[in-house]
Amino acid sequence: MDKERPIIVRYGEIGVKSPVVRKRFEKKLISNIKVLIDCKININQGRIFLFPENFEEALKSLKKIFGIVSYSPTLKTKTDHDTIKLAVQSYIKELVEKGEFDPEKTFAVKCRRVGEHKFSSREMAGFCGAAVIETTHAPVDLSNPDFTLYIEVRDDDTYIFHKKIKGAGGLPIGTQGRMISLVSGGIDSPVATYLMMKRGVDITIVNFNNHPFTSGSNEKIVKIYHKLKEYASGSDFRLLQVDYGEFLKKCTEEAPPRMTCVLCKSGMYQIAEKIAKQEKALAIIDGSSVGQVASQTLPNILATRYSTSMPVLSPLIGLDKLEISEIAEKIGTFQYSILPDSGCEAAPKHPETNAVLEKVLEVQEEIEMDSEVEKVLSTLHKVDLTL
């Protein structure tokens, strides 16, 4: 009886799509789960039933798969009063032993039923409640219980559980196409990348190596890549890099010093757009947040994006630094983002905060931006991930 301990997986937004889209999303969600977790899977009436080889590992891994709203480890039994009673009592005894159920505190049983049965949900809840009392003598409180036992009856099968573990939310990765994400070693861009992965997007990270204006070490970016990859089960999660130092050198030498940061950002978008075509990506992601640093003013955002026709999506644009840092800590990238680095030595003392579009376009022409973009593109390469 207690041989079968499936995990019930609930998915949310997928449920509201059209039948065709829903089917495609469900299929992708299941295949994403299978890449990460060694298991058998059934799908039935809007629920996924997971039979993992390693139960504890599976519980941990599910936390990192987008598209899942919540999940519950269960005890599966036959829909038969005597069998259910035995199962409920063995389930509760185990919880008492583990200290997860305190018979001194109040409890309630909630029952949900799918299919035709000779009993109502309320009757089954009462029946299971009596079984718990017989074992534990715990007091019942239906309106505000300290502990709730859930009974889910689905045709001939019944599932017993008491935990609903919150999933990562979002949509299955791989259902929304690919985007290029501009990722530096800072706190923000990994969070921006995570949020778009969560919305189902495949990612190609493009990192701009500013050597000799920074250390040139790939340690941070590789660590951040591996951390984010944990959430990319079922997706071809890529990391590309270009050498950007020569271009920055040209900016510092041939353009007004105030303009370096504006030209740097504008160049990134233009290069990302070209890489996007190769990668079959349809948008660019960055970590911009209005007003957070001097360069993220409205005039600068306008001027730096003007030379790019591809949409630039900035999921952090409306968030505070504190909120962004909290997400970074939660997803595990914060620890790598705060590793010390030299910062960018190409940045002027007084960067432009009020860029004038016409002036930016003029300077881009002077430094022959188009040919610079091509030069940078020719340095495109993969990064050694074994660091």
**Binding-site ranges for a second copy (CB under 8 A):** 12-13, 18, 21, 169-171, 175-177, 179, 192, 195-196, 198-201, 282-283, 289-292, 294, 297-299, 301-302, 305-306, 309-323
> Does 50 show up as a binding residue in the annotation?
no
Q: Give me the phi and psi of 363, to 5 degrees please.
A: -65, -40
Q: Which residues contact 292 (CB under 8 A, 6 or more apart)?
A: 188, 321
Nearer to a second copy (CB atom), residue 217 or residue 353: 353
3-state secondary structure of 335: helix
d(CA 22, CA 133): 42
Polymer length of the chain = 387
**CA 46 vs CA 42, 69, 78, 171: distances in Å:** 11, 12, 20, 15
| DSSP summary character for residue 255 | S
Nearer to a second copy (CB atom), residue 68 or residue 108: 68
Nearer to a second copy (CB atom), residue 73 or residue 315: 315
**DSSP secondary structure letters along 277-306:** HHHTEEEEE----TTSSTT-SHHHHHHHHT
Nearer to a second copy (CB atom), residue 161 or residue 269: 269
Q: How far is the CB of 65 from a second copy (least distance, A)?
A: 14
Q: How far is the CB of 58 from a second copy (least distance, A)?
A: 23
> Does 287 show up as a binding residue in the annotation?
yes
Q: How far is the CB of 152 from a second copy (least distance, A)?
A: 22
Q: How far is the CB of 332 from a second copy (least distance, A)?
A: 17
Nearer to a second copy (CB atom), residue 95 or residue 282: 282
3-state secondary structure of 186: coil
> Does 95 show up as a binding residue in the annotation?
no
Q: Where are the alpha helices (DSSP H) in 37-165?
A: 55-62, 81-98, 121-136
Q: Quick one: residue 92, left, alpha or beta (phi over 0 = left, psi -120 to 50 = alpha)?
A: alpha
d(CA 281, CA 258): 32
**CA 220 vs CA 184, 185, 265: distances in Å:** 9, 6, 20
Q: How far is the CB of 150 from a second copy (least distance, A)?
A: 21
Q: How far is the CB of 282 from a second copy (least distance, A)?
A: 4
Nearer to a second copy (CB atom), residue 94 or residue 323: 323
> Does 208 show up as a binding residue in the annotation?
yes
Nearer to a second copy (CB atom), residue 157 or residue 352: 352
Q: How far is the CB of 312 from a second copy (least distance, A)?
A: 7
Nearer to a second copy (CB atom), residue 103 or residue 348: 348
Token digits of residue 147: 């502990």
Q: How far is the CB of 309 from a second copy (least distance, A)?
A: 6
> Does 176 show up as a binding residue in the annotation?
no
Q: 356-361: list long-range contacts, CB under 8 Å, 24+ apart.
A: 356/299, 356/303, 357/299, 357/302, 357/303, 357/306, 360/259, 360/262, 360/263, 360/266, 360/303, 360/304, 360/306, 361/306, 361/307
Listed residue (198, 205, 137) closest to 173, CA to CA: 198
Question: Which residues sit in the known binding site?
Answer: 182-183, 207-208, 265, 287, 296
Which residues are documented as binding site for ATP?
182-183, 207-208, 265, 287, 296
